[in-house]
């Protein structure tokens, strides 16, 4: 109780709590997902499930199967410019002939309430026809009421299939068994998400992706986007997704040697601007 009392006396903390009390209900209503722990992907409008060129932590693990060189990356999502809602993530992937392996980590929240996700991924590309990946995740959340962490293990399964050289399908399911955390006071629901998407290359420079996400007890999320490689080092991305509102998205990708930079922005009509910035380093690709 003392610690709570001290917190309440701190005016900055009070402001944060008050702000979050107002914003979180909106956020949970307006977002297709009931948790921000899954990092938004760098793919435009979050169309990562079929994006064979890019593997994002806790998105489709099959995409790790396409990795040809080891890589590491970090990502920061400044959700609606509220640092307490931000998500930071880290990922590292290693490529071998038999199977590719990776680890990932994500942190969302702030000191009073935060969630963390650890992942271990195994994925393989099967003769460049399709790739499959399985991810073992450990989710943990800090519950201020009991001043303790509670966690759960949950799997994630991904698939990517090249139906033709220019058209492919992607499927991903996060927490398919609907594992939740039961505490003495609350049941913390961990999102259980099914995603299905397509990727179509009009030309090697222009790709179009679509995706449907369904968090099992939330609204559908429909997303689509184009990515155009303007010049060798620069790509632009344009797309939108809709759940309760239509959200336009704009992004840029820039690569310089072994470094890849991505910056994506989306403008929610009610919640405002959301930005995702990512840096990735691919080993052995320096020119």
Partner 1 sequence: MVISSYKLRAQDAVSTTEQLIADIFEQYTAESEDAIDYDTFYEDLISLSENPVNLNRTTQDELDKMPFLSDDQIENILSYVYRFGPIQTIFELQLIDGLDMTDIRRMLPFVRVGEASETQKKIYGQDLLHYGKNELFFRLDNGLETKEGYCFLPEEDPKASDVNSGNYLGNQLYNSIKYRFHYKDRVQIGFTAEKDAGEQFWGTQHKGYDFYSASVQLNDFGKFKTIVLGDFRANFGLGLVLHPEFGMGKSSYVLNVTPRNSGLKKYSSTDEYNFFRGAGATVQLGKVEVSAFYSNKMIDGDTVNGIFSSIYKTGLHRAPSEIAKKHTVNQQIVGGDATLTVSNFQIGFTAVHTELDNTLQPDKSVYNYFYFSGKRQTTAGIHYRMRWQKLNLFGETALTDNGSMATINGFTFTPVSRVSLVALYRYYSPEYDTLYATAFSETSRINNETGLYLGAEVRPFRKWKFAAYADSYRFPWPKYGIDAPSLGSDYLLQADFAAQRNMTMYWRLKYEEKQANLSGSTATMPELVTNRKASLRYNLTYSFGNFSFKNAMEGNLFREAENDWTYGVIASQDVTYKFPKIPLQMDFRMQFFDALNYENRFYSYEKDVLYAFSIPMYYGQGSRYYLNVQYDLNAHFSFWFKIAQTVYADDREWLSSGNETIQGNRKTDVRLMVKWAF
**Rounded Cα distance, 119 and 136, in Å:** 6
What is the rounded CA–CA span in Å between residue 144 and residue 172?
A: 32
Based on the shown chain and the rule CB under 8 A, indicate whether residue 236 belongs to the binding site for partner 1: no
Encoded tokens for 248? 């336009």
Q: Please tell me the distance from the alpha carbon of residue 252 to that of residue 142, in angstroms, as a whole number.
A: 35
What's the min distance (Å) between Cβ of 108 and partner 1? Answer: 22
The answer to whether residues 213 and 193 touch, using CB atoms and an 8 Å cutoff, is yes
Q: Is 36 helix (H, G, I), strand (E, B) or coil?
A: coil
Collapse the DSSP code of 88 into the 3-class scheme (helix H, G, I; strand E, B; otherwise coil) and give the result. strand
* 63 is an interface residue for partner 1 by CB under 8 A: no
DSSP-assigned letter for residue 9: H
Note whether 235 binds partner 1 by CB under 8 A.
Answer: no
- Residues from 105 through 134 that contact partner 1 (CB under 8 A): 126-127, 129-130, 132
**Closest approach of partner 1 to the CB of residue 79, in Å:** 24
Using rule CB under 8 A, residue 220 touches partner 1: yes
Binding of residue 242 to partner 1 (CB under 8 A): no
Scanning residues 171 to 210, which ones bind partner 1 (CB under 8 A)? 171, 173, 176-178, 192, 194, 196
Q: Which of 23, 92, 152, 169 binds partner 1 (CB under 8 A)?
A: 169
* Rounded Cα–Cα distance for residues 48 and 3 (Å): 42
Please report whether residue 29 would count as binding partner 1 according to CB under 8 A: no
| Rounded Cα distance, 169 and 146, in Å | 44
Of 142-150, 154-162, 200-208, 231-239, the window that binds partner 1 (rule: CB under 8 A) is 154-162
Q: Running DSSP on this structure, what letter comes out for residue 31?
A: S
Residue numbers at the binding site for partner 1 (CB under 8 A):
126-127, 129-130, 132, 157, 159, 161, 163, 169, 171, 173, 176-178, 192, 194, 196, 214, 216-217, 220
């Amino acid at each position: 109780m003392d610690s709570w009392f001290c917190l309440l006396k701190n005016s900055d903390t009070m402001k944060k709590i008050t702000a979050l009390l107002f914003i979180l209900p909106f956020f949970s209503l307006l977002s297709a997902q009931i948790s921000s722990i899954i990092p938004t992907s760098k793919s435009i409008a979050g169309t990562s499930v079929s994006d064979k060129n890019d593997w994002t932590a806790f998105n489709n693990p099959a995409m790790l199967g396409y990795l040809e060189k080891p890589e590491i990356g970090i990502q920061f999502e400044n959700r609606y410019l509220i640092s307490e809602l931000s998500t930071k993530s880290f990922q590292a992937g290693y490529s071998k002939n038999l199977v590719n392996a990776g680890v990932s980590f994500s942190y969302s929240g702030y000191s009073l309430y935060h969630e963390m996700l650890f992942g271990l991924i195994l994925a393989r590309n099967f003769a460049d026809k399709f790739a499959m990946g399985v991810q073992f995740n450990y989710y943990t959340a800090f519950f201020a009421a009991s001043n303790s962490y509670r966690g759960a293990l949950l799997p994630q399964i991904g698939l990517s299939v090249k139906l033709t050289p220019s058209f492919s399908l992607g499927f991903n399911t996060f927490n398919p068994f609907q594992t939740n955390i039961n505490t003495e006071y609350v049941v913390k629901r961990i999102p259980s998400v099914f995603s299905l998407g397509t990727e179509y290359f009009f030309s090697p420079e222009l790709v179009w992706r679509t995706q449907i996400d369904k968090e099992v007890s939330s609204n559908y999320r429909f997303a689509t986007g184009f990515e155009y490689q303007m010049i060798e080092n620069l790509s632009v991305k344009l797309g939108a997704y809709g759940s309760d509102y239509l959200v336009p998205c704009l992004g840029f990708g820039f690569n310089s040697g072994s470094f890849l930079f991505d910056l994506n922005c989306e403008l929610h009509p009610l919640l405002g601007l959301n930005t995702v910035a990512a840096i990735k380093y691919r080993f052995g690709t320096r020119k």
